[in-house]
Structure 1
């Protein structure tokens, strides 16, 4: 794929899991990469160290994307400290607890919606003026196949991801004239902390490797496989791609 040298990226949830893999993939392409994290400073700093090991510049910022003022403060720091931003990847996420609609705590619903829907809206809004300065900019939303499945017990998570995808489609239309490409990547089960918790809760599988044999291509999707799709979408090889939703699940759904 074409080089990302000279470009600057922000990956929310970039300290662990899919976000970390995306941050490293962008850095390997030559981009300067900032990662935003909520609590795990150690993981974020490890990601930055690994970014810098590729020869790229790395930065870590603590910010809760579900908080409007923290989103605005993060945008302000990105502008003042990095001076530019042309890639924004919304990868921060939390799971819901698997309760039915009848049994869902309203506080849980609000929290999940803030992280997956309101937070990306707030952060996108705050960073749009900076991103519009770039000749080309990219925004990628990491969603989920849950919006295809709409599984019982997944109300808050499915609602949050569906709202996120709606936001992406609206932004793709609004910002195309400003040179922005906006796309969605929707993974299935991925070998992350969240994925491991999911298979334990839903299938009683303690070791996610036990799910390899029943998975497409003989293995559970890796974070790096999702990151490769994101890396393609923000490259010159995807210069005419926008408003697309790419499912990364091995053809399961």
Structure 2
């Protein structure tokens, strides 16, 4: 990867799973990293400590992306403490409960859409002034292959990711003239807490590693494999890439 030295990245959901791998990967490429977390302060602090131990610079900020005022407060802190932002990665996510449309609780629908759709919109909006000043700014949305499939019993999550992708494609066109690159990565099943819960719920498999033999290339996708695509998208190697959606599923779908 090309050097990201001198660039500041904000990764939502950066304390765990894909977000953690992205934060560590961007730091390894030279970026200073701000990690936004909702509840798990211990995980966020551990990610910061791991980055520092590897010679990088990182910071943790508590903020719920589905809360407009917290998004605005986070943007103000980033601006006040750093005075800039070059990279924004929307990785925060929650799963839906697997109910049918008929049985889905309205509160659950609001929560899932809040995190996956409204949250990225309002946080991006609050941070656009900083990103526009970056010269080259990058926004990467972590979506899902669910928007290729739309399986039953997944409406809140699928709706949230579909709305997120609509936001990304629209934003790419609006902000290209301001030097922003906006792209989407869409993983399949990934070895994260959410991925392990998904495999347990849908396949009755307690250990996700049992799926290695049936997966492309002999293993379930790792968070680092998703992070590597994000690292490419924000690098000089992708200087002419925007408004793209890259599927990371080993060719499954």
TM-score, length-normalised on structure 2?
A: 0.99
Match of residue 179 from structure 1: 179
Match of residue 42 from structure 1: 42
TM-score, length-normalised on structure 1?
A: 0.99
Match of residue 90 from structure 1: 90
The list of structure 1 runs, each at least 4 consecutive aligned residues, that deviate by more than 4 angstroms after superposition, is: none
SS in 1 for 2:30: coil
Which sections of structure 2, spanning at least 5 residues, go unmatched?
Answer: none
Query: Is 1:251 matched up with 2:251?
Result: yes
Match of residue 56 from structure 2: 56
Shift of 1:55: 1.6
Structure 1 distance, partners of 2:5, 2:130, is: 18
Match of residue 14 from structure 1: 14
- How do residues 42-121 of structure 1 correspond to structure 2 at under 5 angstroms? 42-121=42-121
Match of residue 123 from structure 2: 123
CA deviations over 1:42-85 (Å, ceiling 9, x no partner): 00000001111222210000000000000000000000111110
Structure 2 distance, partners of 1:213, 1:173, is: 41
Match of residue 141 from structure 2: 141
SS in 1 for 2:35: strand
Query: Is 1:199 matched up with 2:199?
Result: yes
Match of residue 150 from structure 1: 150
CA deviations over 1:126-161 (Å, ceiling 9, x no partner): 000011111100000000000001010000000000
Structure 1 distance, partners of 2:52, 2:155, is: 39
- What's the C-alpha RMSD, in Å, of the aligned pairs? 0.4
SS in 1 for 2:198: helix
Shift of 1:40: 0.4
Aligned length: 253
